[in-house]
Amino acid sequence: MVDDRLFLEDVRFFGRHGITTAEQTIGAWFSVDVEITLDLSAAARTDSLGETIDYGAVARRIVEIGMRGRVNLLERLAGLIADELLRETRAGQVRVRVRKLTPPLEGLTGTPGVELTRRR
């Protein structure tokens, strides 16, 4: 069993995800962390991008998914990202953490977020 991981932290985009009118109208900044589990031994040995996953492409994909359409829940957004990354890469497992950095919600303190893990 391989325990190698490729990760990206704090991939940001602006979106209008949420249930309230303010979230849908004003929008918010989101931050996504992704951890992808796969065998990286060939990449470590050969120094070849073809033996790993291009994290630049993953970051662009996260932003594309986050900025298209609108969803109500962070759980849905994280699930879309996890499912698409699993489908589009050689990953055995994907862990996605989504945080809403600037929620326009009166009285809210802190940063809401979710973390999902999906496996093949």
User: Annotated active-site positions, please?
Assistant: 100
Task: Report which of 25, 8, 23, 49 is spatially closest to residue 112, judged by C-alpha positions.
Answer: 23
- String of b and e for 85-95 (b: at least 16 CB within 10 Å)? bbeebebeebb
Q: How far is 106 from 80, CA to CA, in rounded Å?
A: 28
Tokens 């994280």 locate to 78
Would you tell me the crossing angle of helices 55-67 and 74-88 to the nearest 10 degrees? 140
